[in-house]
Amino acid sequence: MATDQIPTRSAPAGERPPEAVAPPRSPGATRLPSLTGLRFPAALAVFFHHAFLPIIPLRLLADDDTADTLAGWFAQAGGLGVSFFFVLSGFVLTWSARDRDTTKAFWRRRFVKIYPMYVVTWALAVSLFAMYYTSIGVAVANLFMLQVWVPEYMTNFSIDAPSWSLAVEAIFYLSFPMLYKAFLRIDAARLKYWITGAVAAVVATPALAYALFPSSPRIPSGHESSVSQYWFAYVLPPVRMVDFALGILVALAVRHGRWRNIGMVWSSLLLAGSYVLTNYVPYLYGQRAVMIVPIVLLIAATATADIEGRATVFRSRAMVWLGEVSFAFYLLHYIVLCSLRWALGEDRMFSTPTTVAMLTGAAVASVVMSWGLFAWIENPLVRRYSRSRRPGKAN
């Protein structure tokens, strides 16, 4: 995809202009295909997290040691993917914000983009397996995106487990017009202090959770966190709003040339290092606190690469396509994994090669099904209903 070229300030002879003083960018002036492509690896991280969770509805591996090792490797992959998507949402919505947009038009586009797919996958999960062990009340709560407001693990992650994050995103979308207008009033030179404050809030959240909430009962995965601690630090929408706000602030900093870009390579290395570090900190810190800065750096670096027209592996046609279907993949993959386990029977376990082969097939099947949902449901609905057809109405 073509990317608009952004002019940069000329520097004195022999001096390289720092990337932090690029001129302001107009909202929506530049497309960000690499950020679209980067969505799929983030969704795939969540897939791996669920694929190797050591719980009955998902586990396929017969060998306990291998199962425990892989569960450990991917224990925080879900936290990585979700935190990435929360920050990315704030960044992309800010970058694509329209000067003459209305709150109603924005909410309409978000509703058409998100909720129909949410309902379709909710219905699939209910009909295929969730109806056998989920109460009507919990199912209805999921349908109306209310499952994240109670400190109950089996409610938060019921029906289609990844859908909890969409219930949180819905709160982000409702608040975005207000947050965006408020953050636009921040002096560009002071954005760095707001960004630092948001990062500090993310880092402080696990400490508050451990201090304020009881240490039992523990979450089913066996990690060192109680249900209420986990809910407060990882699920509760007002708490996760900080991730979203951070994405807005960083997008404004990039737009105003107030972001010092360290590049995609260094950002990726820092993210990899922070992921390793999650094995050596208390569980709730590993969920997002130790990875939040590298996540922000990588999103900003990838956007900057697009702004400057530089080639990246994520802006290839294949990666952009995978990024476009990643929303459907994110909602579908858990359904595919649970359906596979259900079809095989809960008592059957498999060797490592067989498990890897089946999970590869599940990933491929999820991508193919995601393409179908994107092509036949998501994209047509967005094209048909995201804009008002009434004369004189804002689009």
- Read off the pLDDT of residues 273-328 as tens digits, 9 standing for 90 and up: 999 999 999 999 999 999 999 999 999 999 999 999 999 999 999 999 999 999 99
Nearest 10 degrees: Cα torsion 143, 146, 148, 153: -70
Residue 231 belongs to a domain: yes
| Contacts for 288 with CB less than 8 Å, ≥ 6 apart | 79, 82, 83, 202, 205, 234, 243
Distance CA 47, CA 128 (A): 19
Residue 359 belongs to a domain: yes
**pLDDT level of residue 388 (50, 70, 90 thresholds):** low
Distance CA 295, CA 42 (A): 11
Residue 393 belongs to a domain: no
Condensed to tens digits (0 to 9), the pLDDT of residues 51-75 reads: 999 888 899 999 999 999 999 999 9
Residue 12 belongs to a domain: no
* Residue 98: per-residue pLDDT: 84
Torsion region of 287: left, alpha or beta (phi above 0 gives left; psi -120 to 50 gives alpha): alpha
Condensed to tens digits (0 to 9), the pLDDT of residues 80-126 reads: 999 999 999 999 999 999 888 899 999 999 999 999 999 999 999 99
Distance CA 380, CA 375 (A): 7
Write down the pTM of the prediction.
0.91
Distance CA 129, CA 293 (A): 38
Q: Is 90 exceeded by the pLDDT of residue 152? A: yes
Q: Which residues pair with 61 in a beta bridge?
A: 350
Q: Report, as an integer, the average pLDDT of 192-220.
A: 96
Condensed to tens digits (0 to 9), the pLDDT of residues 208-260 reads: 999 999 999 999 876 789 999 999 999 999 999 999 999 999 999 999 999 99
Residue 221 belongs to a domain: yes
* Residue 224: per-residue pLDDT: 84
* Residue 18: per-residue pLDDT: 37
* Residue 22: per-residue pLDDT: 43
Residue 330 belongs to a domain: yes
| Contacts for 51 with CB less than 8 Å, ≥ 6 apart | 58, 74, 337, 359, 362
Residue-range definition of the domain harbouring residue 276: 36-385
In 74-216, where does DSSP find H-type helix? 77-95, 103-128, 136-143, 153-156, 164-184, 191-212
Burial code of 90-121, b = ≥16 C-beta within 10 A, e = fewer? bbbbbbebeeebeeebbebbbebbbebbbebb
Q: Report the chain's mean pLDDT, rounded to a whole number.
A: 90
Q: Report, as an integer, the average pLDDT of 344-365.
A: 94
Condensed to tens digits (0 to 9), the pLDDT of residues 375-386 reads: 999 999 999 988
Question: How many beta carbons lie within 10 A of that of residue 250, not counting itself?
Answer: 25
Residue 13 belongs to a domain: no
Dihedral sign for Cα atoms in the order 272, 254, 15, 190: negative
Residue 335 belongs to a domain: yes
Q: Is 80 exceeded by the pLDDT of residue 392? A: no
**pLDDT level of residue 389 (50, 70, 90 thresholds):** low
Number of folded domains that form the chain: 1
DSSP state of 233: I
Q: Report, as an integer, the average pLDDT of 354-366.
A: 97
> For 219-226, which contacts have Cβ atoms below 8 Å and span 24 or more sequence positions?
219/153, 220/55, 220/153, 220/154, 221/53, 221/54, 221/55, 222/54, 223/75, 223/283, 224/282, 224/283, 225/283, 225/284
* Residue 220: per-residue pLDDT: 85
